[in-house]
Amino acid sequence: EAGVAQSPRYKIIEKRQSVAFWCNPISGHATLYWYQQILGQGPKLLIQFQNNGVVDDSQLPKDRFSAERLKGVDSTLKIQPAKLEDSAVYLCASSSLSRMNYGYTFGSGTRLTVV
């Protein structure tokens, strides 16, 4: 099966600019996650979707971050305006609702540098 697709792979923006990331999960996976990984740290969950509904966004900085998953498939994560501390790798993952015990599959990530 095809993996989790993410784009772009890299992005460099100036602070206060906006940026958007895109994720296409594995076909049929109902659950989609966005993680933020700052250099030297483990990934931190930003938001979890089940189909097109939000399950958990408790760690999403809602004043600047937003995410949507239209039609329960693709998802976009947006940052507006970006801050220097948003420099990180943004990872998208998906899992099957009926097979959540079978683990998560991650995409290759988007590396964001804010200058």
Binding stretches for another protein (CB under 8 A): 6, 33, 40-45, 48, 56, 89, 91, 93, 100-109, 111
In angstroms, give the least distance from the CB of 29 to another protein.
14
Backbone angles phi, psi at 71, to 5 degrees: 60, 15
DSSP at 40 = T
Whether 9 contacts 110, CB under 8 Å: yes
Q: In the complex, what is the shortest distance from the CB of residue 92 to another protein, in angstroms, rounded to a whole number?
A: 9
For another protein, which is the closer residue by CB, 16 or 99? 99
Q: How far apart are CA 53 and CA 58, in angstroms?
A: 14
CB of 8 to another protein, least distance (A): 13
